[in-house]
Amino acid sequence: MSSPSLARLNEWGSAVPWPCEATSWFLLINEVANFFLARRGMPYVDYFSFPWWLCLGAVAFSILVSLAAGIYPTLRAARVDPVVALRHD
């Protein structure tokens, strides 16, 4: 009996090994919870389900924040005259 989350993992897991994948903890928690709930007669439920657009949006947001955090100080430093900056110390 294969759960849907493990089937999805086998589908996507070829690029990144399972222990290194960020969602591996969610899948593990999901399987453990379903194991104990199945013993009580509960049906299988996928507790952690992330749509593809949410994952891509999170990556895009983190890239934008890191670019803004790196470019803003660089632009400010580029406007300062090096001689003035060295004499300030």
How many domains is the chain built from?
2
**What per-residue confidence (pLDDT) applies to 24?**
73
**Domain co-membership, 45 together with 69:** no
**Domain co-membership, 8 together with 45:** yes
Consecutive H or E run containing 1: none
**Domain co-membership, 3 together with 41:** yes
Domain hosting 23: range is: 1-49
CA dihedral (52, 53, 56, 57) positive or negative: negative
**What per-residue confidence (pLDDT) applies to 23?**
66
**Domain co-membership, 3 together with 37:** yes
- Output DSSP code: residue 5: H
**Domain co-membership, 56 together with 44:** no
Each residue's pLDDT tens digit in the chain (89 positions)?
A: 444 544 455 454 544 444 455 567 777 888 898 899 999 998 988 877 778 888 889 899 999 999 999 999 999 989 988 888 888 65
pTM exceeds cut of 0.85:
no
